[in-house]
Amino acid sequence: MSGRAHAARAPRAALAARAGLAALVALAAGAAGAVGAAGAAGAPGAPGVVDVGPTLARTQILARTLDDEPRSLDPQLASDIPGQRIADDLFEGLTAVGIDGRPVPGVAASWQESADGLTWVFHLRAAARWSNGAPVTAGDFVYAWRREVDPRTGSQYAQGLAPIAGALAIASGDAPPDTLGVRALDAHTLRVRLAGPTPYLLDLLSQQYLYPVYAPVIRRYGEQWTQPAHMVCDGAFVLREHVIGSRITLQKNPLYWDAAHVHLQRVVYYVLPDRNVQAERFMAGQAQWTDSFAANQHDWLAAHLGAQVVNSPYFGTYMLGFNFQMPPFRDNRPLREALVLAIDREPLVHAMRSMYQPAYTLMPPLPGYVQPVPAWARLSEQARHALARRLYREAGYSHTDPLRVDIVTSVQGADERHFYEAVAAEWRAILGADVHVDEEEFKVLIQDRELHKVALFHDAWIGDYPDPYTFMQIFYTGNGNNNGAYSDPAFDRLIDAAGREADEAARYRLFGAAERVLNEDAAYIPLYYYATRHLVKPYVRGWRSNIMDRNLSRYMYLLEHQGD
Amino acid sequence: MSARPAGERIPMSVPLQRPAAPEPPAASPSSAPPARAGAFWRLTLRRLAAQPTTRVAAALLAMIVIGCLVIPWLSPYDYYTPHFDLLSRGPMLAGAHLFGTDPLGRDLLVRVMWGCRISLAVGVAASLVSVLIGVAWGAIAGYVGGWLDSTMMRAVDVLYSVPFVPFVIVLTVLFGRSLWLLFVAIGAVSWLDIARIVRGQTLSLKQREFIEAARVAGVRGVDMISRHIVPNLLGIVAVYATLTIPAVILFEALLSFLGLGVQSPMASLGSLVADGASDMQAHPHLLIVPAALLSLIIYCFNYLGDGLRDALDPRSR
Amino acid sequence: MLRYTLRRLIIAVPTLLLIATLAFALLHAAPGGPFDSDKRMLPAIQRAIEARYHLDEPLWRQYVRYLGELSRGDLGPSFQYRDTSVNQIIAQGLPVDATVGLAALALALLVGGTVGVSAALWHGTRWDHAPMALAAVGISVPVFVVAPLLILVFAVALHWLPPGDWVAGSPSHLVLPVVALALPYIGYVARLMRGSTLEVLASPFIRSARAKGLPSRLILWRHALRPALTPLVSYLGPAIAGLVTGSIVVESVFGLPGIGRFFITAALNRDYTLLVGITVLYGAFIILCNLLADLCYAWIDPRVRLR
């Protein structure tokens, strides 16, 4: 069941009460949908029409693909998306990722929040077990979270725990790990103290770097604890085989507390960095769910595979960044604005990135958040072009004295390069600017951005959790991810105020105001919002598109089918 | 330290029998008076032209070279301006897009011709670089012999296992991504094979009578190498040079595949093929056109190399 | 011959050392480090990671430390895959590459050798031109075109063979990768064998054998083939090393867990230990193969003296 389903944000208190029904509802909906959609199986013109029955297939083995080899299977070190996918299947945190990407009760069956929202108490369910039979205790969480913020672990997401009291000080090396604001009141009760109001706490708790880990196995085997023979996990699956660079095989964990509702017996992940190969495996029937497919093949795949091609909004924005520390963009707002305006986003994205949405703001669509779309987005094309040219001249450039600058991007493949070439061509046509695309190797680009050596650069950001702060922080003065060295005290003040605000609506309004500051400053060039890209066989059910693109194998199942 | 056969005549060198034209025994262009040297090469050319396959190959190459120089000049389209209403169209007569368009709506024929220019330039230039280095290295090592030979060939062994990709990465970062850098970088890696072959040939040539004669006459060192050894190597070097060109072009294609080749919007045949390979199912013309041209060019160079080898060695029927 | 072999092996040690040093220096010269990512880390964490992997030490000390580990056979931890060591990655990947590479070599020698020798025997006829033209296809069309084409035809359209992946002991998973890998080598071997066979067949001692009245087949197998093999042997040395350490494209298109693909990703991700480890392995193979090739010369031509 695909489609653009944005689940409305349920009030936090009601969520805790609906704990047990969540999985049942998903299953019932899945069954109903399966019955209803049975007749719609097989896309017109698909190579080998698949006949999907209404009952479960006898062999429940799912084959998925990954875009790259995970950098680590250790949840505290899994900093990339492939690592997150595997960790999501092997482990479970206080809250789990629901079928729609929203947090649902996981190891924690229930929780309470103090009046000021700064202290939370979680009650772990007694049935939660590690794969070796030992119970999952609050101490496991304490150990894991301390390990996450301890600089000696070297976790790249340590600052993700910033909302927890004491985390930043520990991660900066100024305090020992046991000062973290988390404490095991007893074996099944965990108390968490926050640094400030954190409306997105439940989403945060379902991030992979907050999953518990089994301390004895780590102490005994060190870095080798993620070998299949040693690994101990608390999720729906256990690690059966890991062929580096090729294949990761998971097997159902019979000791998982919700094992009764897990249908898949085995999940195989194929590591395929080449997107075209992922599509080929899918069409050959060897993979049933792909993590991605080549963007430039979208139209062709849609024509041939129909509904098996799935796109939905993804929480990320694709943009170009300005360097505020060097010419030509330093102290030259008209020039920046001219470049922002002189891109015809609708036809460009429609022609080249038909799966994505043109972007006019930093924040992609988020339920409850009102995007501050700038006024120029509503201008007609001619009016916008005229305005852009006027600003360009005001900035001091003309046809005889054009702007000469390079778009610096990383080497990602033909279709990425083509898109930036098209942008450069538009600037050339509308403004007369002389812009070229300079592809650098990825590590070189990172370093150049970090050292603020390039004037105009590719900058994309994917939010870690569904809250505006994850995007806004990259423009905060001095933030490590502030590649353009942008700095505006008004912006910083608004962000600080939002950080202290407990009411979600007020918070969002503050973030909106902060974004308007960015718009007025023309602090970056928005291009488009990301979308998820998956190829999914029609008989694979138990998943739903969501903006965080987290699809756990735990809910999935295969319907009986004939054909590939 | 070598196991090369001592005293054994290594094939593929200068003719053994006297060909029809009057030439001194063990003919070589340099040890003969200038008029005779010209005659040698004219003869070679004539024999080259006598084979139908070589004629065809040379003619095709000539047509390709002329095409890639003339067509971009004649065509109303350039290679970098996108046209969003014509993305990835197949070959069509409308608008004279004989090969269709690429994913940015640019005329594929023009892009392929530009790519041809770049690939041929890279191929020839890099091969020249590698030939220069390789011949010098191999001839010196083979002629001087002893510890110098041993050291130089050990160096070749070592260089064979140097990882090329970080080498090119460092070069591109230090010197920027330019075409000249590509020539030098690829050429600097391709000379190894030629050096080994040249050294082997030099070793056997050293034993030949005419070298003895020259030595008795007082020719030494650099003079000996440049005037007597190298010209006798030209045959085999020519063959290997023509065989290196396609290898270089393919290597440049691999670099483009990894994103280290020519900078966009410029394209080489290799980068066009790499781009097309990723779009193979949806738009096959994007792959077929540059791949066919690339294969054709390589084919022709291979046949030319073969023909050259046959022409230089009349014993082969 | 034994003394010769020993001498070559002893020289191999400083050669490998030089290779390791060059690789180490080159990759460290390239900008960027293994832990640079687009989501920046806190400085304390960055420092801790660098301390753990000794990246904060001066370069010469990192080098000496690495050499020490190398002498113990420990190629170090992988920087991009933090759960594994270089030894584990190589141990897992090398058998895959060896299997595919050696199978491709056998195919290339068999098909290429046959085509080349027969082309020489029927020199000038259509049995010369046509097979050589086909062999040249392998050299002309890049592997990253051939490999996906093979998958498209045989796996996606016809469903005869699996589209990739590695299942130890399954021959059907081997067919497509081996063919894709072997095609260019078939072309080179055919060309080499044709050229050298032609040369040998026209040489005086063959003429005298013919004059003696020996049958053609005897001439070919007993007298002509051995000397004709010398250029092939000299080509095979580095070719074997390249085949065995894996073709990057074949591995990535077919999803084979070999080490060739790691070579490129190690360079691009600045995984110093993995890259130097694979480079040293590659170097050792080349040295070994060259030694074997030189020993083969001695076997082929008894007049050769190993000095």
Mean pLDDT across B73-93: 77
SS3 assignment for A122-133: EEECCCCECCCC
Domains of chain B: 50-77+103-316 (1.10.3720.10)
- Two tokens, residue B9: 């005549």
Q: Flag if C42 and A480 touch (Cβ within 8 Å).
A: yes
Q: Flag if C145 and B291 touch (Cβ within 8 Å).
A: yes
> Chains A and B: how many Cβ contacts under 8 Å?
66
Shortest Cα distance, chain A CAs vs residue B111, angstroms: 14
Does any CB of chain B come closer than 8 Å to the CB of residue A438? yes
Considering only alpha carbons, which residue of chain C is nearest residue A221?
C83
Statement: residue C193 has pLDDT above 80: yes
Q: Flag if C249 and B254 touch (Cβ within 8 Å).
A: yes
Name which of B178, B263, B285, B286 to mutate to probe chain A: the one with the most chain A Cβ atoms within 10 A of its Cβ.
Answer: B263
Statement: residue B175 has pLDDT above 90: no
Shortest Cα distance, chain A CAs vs residue C96, angstroms: 11
Residue B163 — pLDDT band, cuts 50, 70, 90? low
| Residue partners of C289: CB distance under 8 A and separation at least 6 | C236, C237, C238, C240, C241
Q: How far apart are CA A411 and CA A445, in angstroms?
A: 9
What is the pLDDT at residue A6?
A: 32
Among B5, B166, B298, the residue with its CB nearest the CB of C139 is B298
Shortest Cα distance, chain A CAs vs residue C37, angstroms: 7
- Residue C198 and residue C168 in contact, taking contact as beta carbons nearer than 8 Å: no
Considering only alpha carbons, which residue of chain A is nearest residue C148?
A277
Q: Flag if A441 and C268 touch (Cβ within 8 Å).
A: yes
pLDDT digits (tens, 9 = 90+) for A250-297: 999 999 999 999 999 999 999 988 788 888 889 888 899 999 888 778
Residue whose tokens read 């700038």? A374
Q: Flag if B295 and C304 touch (Cβ within 8 Å).
A: no
Helices marked H in A306-413 = 333-341, 345-352, 381-394
Shortest Cα distance, chain B CAs vs residue C286, angstroms: 7
Does any CB of chain A come closer than 8 Å to the CB of residue C55? no
Q: Flag if A284 and C83 touch (Cβ within 8 Å).
A: no
Of the two residues B172 and A101, the one the predictor is more confident about is A101
Q: How far apart are CA A166 and CA A401, in angstroms?
A: 54
Q: How far apart are CA A125 and CA A111, in angstroms?
A: 11
Statement: residue A46 has pLDDT above 90: no
Distances (CA, A) of B238 to A344, B184, B250, C174, C197: 54, 20, 19, 38, 20
ipTM here: 0.81
Handedness of CA C242, A413, A447, A465 (dihedral sign): negative
| Residue partners of A396: CB distance under 8 A and separation at least 6 | A332, A335
Residue B12 — pLDDT band, cuts 50, 70, 90? very low
Full-model pTM: 0.81
Q: Flag if B264 and A413 touch (Cβ within 8 Å).
A: no
Does any CB of chain A come closer than 8 Å to the CB of residue B278? yes
Mean pLDDT across A465-482: 88
| Residue partners of B202: CB distance under 8 A and separation at least 6 | B138, B139, B141, B142, B143, B229, B233
Distances (CA, A) of C239 to A383, B193, B237, B268, C298: 63, 11, 20, 27, 20
Q: Flag if A443 and C253 touch (Cβ within 8 Å).
A: no
Q: Flag if B282 and A425 touch (Cβ within 8 Å).
A: no
Among A157, A226, A246, the residue with its CB nearest the CB of C256 is A246
Residue B215 — pLDDT band, cuts 50, 70, 90? confident
Considering only alpha carbons, which residue of chain A is nearest residue B259?
A411
Among A297, A412, A439, the residue with its CB nearest the CB of B264 is A439
- Which residues of A fall within a CB distance of 8 Å from B82? 421-422, 425
Does any CB of chain C come closer than 8 Å to the CB of residue B307? no
Q: Flag if A72 and C77 touch (Cβ within 8 Å).
A: no
Statement: residue C166 has pLDDT above 70: yes
Residue C305 — pLDDT band, cuts 50, 70, 90? low
- Which is nearest to C128 in space by CA: B51, B43, B47? B51
- Which residues of C fall within a CB distance of 8 Å from A74? 82-83
Of the two residues B253 and A551, the one the predictor is more confident about is A551
Q: How far is CA A287 from its chain centroid?
A: 22
Q: How far is CA A343 from its chain centroid?
A: 27
B window 245-284, beta carbon within 8 A of C: 246, 250, 253-254, 257-258, 270, 273-274, 277, 280-281
What's the CA dihedral at C249, C255, C261, C265 to 10 degrees? 110
Of the two residues B289 and C301, the one the predictor is more confident about is B289
Does any CB of chain B come closer than 8 Å to the CB of residue C64? no
Of the two residues C41 and A333, the one the predictor is more confident about is A333
Q: What is the mean pLDDT of chain C?
A: 81
- Mapping DSSP to helix (H, G, I), strand (E, B) and coil, where does residue B51 land? coil
Share of chain A above pLDDT 90, in %: 53
- Residue A314 and residue A531 in contact, taking contact as beta carbons nearer than 8 Å: yes
Q: Flag if C257 and A272 touch (Cβ within 8 Å).
A: no
pLDDT digits (tens, 9 = 90+) for C196-210: 888 788 778 788 877
Residue C242 — pLDDT band, cuts 50, 70, 90? low
- Mapping DSSP to helix (H, G, I), strand (E, B) and coil, where does residue B101 land? strand
DSSP designation for C153: I
Amino acid at A174: D
Residues C284-301 as b or e (16 or more Cβ within 10 Å = b) = bbbbbbbbebbbbbbebb
Does any CB of chain C come closer than 8 Å to the CB of residue B41? no
Among B81, B173, B264, the residue with its CB nearest the CB of A444 is B173
Mean pLDDT across B232-256: 78
> For A60-64, C44-48, C75-79, C267-271, which range has the lowest pLDDT when averaged over its residues?
C267-271
CA atoms within 13 A on the CB side of A238: 20
Q: What is the mean pLDDT of chain A?
A: 85
Among C15, C22, C249, the residue with its CB nearest the CB of B154 is C15
> Chains A and C: how many Cβ contacts under 8 Å?
146
Q: Flag if B160 and C286 touch (Cβ within 8 Å).
A: yes
Mean pLDDT across B216-231: 77
- Which residues of C fall within a CB distance of 8 Å from B294? 140-142
Q: What is the mean pLDDT of chain B?
A: 73
Find which of A100-104, A216-220, C241-245 is predicted with most confidence, using mean pLDDT: A216-220
Statement: residue C3 has pLDDT above 90: no
Name which of A172, A281, A440 to mutate to probe chain C: the one with the most chain C Cβ atoms within 10 A of its Cβ.
Answer: A281
pLDDT digits (tens, 9 = 90+) for B104-126: 788 888 999 999 998 898 888 88
- Which is nearest to B104 in space by CA: B283, B295, B293? B283
pLDDT digits (tens, 9 = 90+) for A194-244: 998 888 899 999 999 999 999 999 999 988 999 999 999 999 999 999 988
Q: Flag if A286 and C270 touch (Cβ within 8 Å).
A: no
B window 86-105, beta carbon within 8 A of A: 87, 103-104
Share of chain C above pLDDT 70, in %: 94
Residue B171 — pLDDT band, cuts 50, 70, 90? low
Name which of B78, B104, B283 to mutate to probe chain A: the one with the most chain A Cβ atoms within 10 A of its Cβ.
Answer: B104
Does any CB of chain A come closer than 8 Å to the CB of residue C48? yes
Residue C73 — pLDDT band, cuts 50, 70, 90? confident
Does any CB of chain B come closer than 8 Å to the CB of residue C207? no
- Residue A481 and residue C41 in contact, taking contact as beta carbons nearer than 8 Å: no
Chain B: partners with 3+ C-beta pairs within 8 Å: A, C
Among B163, B270, B306, the residue with its CB nearest the CB of C279 is B163
Q: What interhelical angle do B230-257 and B108-144 show, nearest 10?
A: 140
Does any CB of chain B come closer than 8 Å to the CB of residue C3? no
Q: Flag if A446 and C36 touch (Cβ within 8 Å).
A: yes
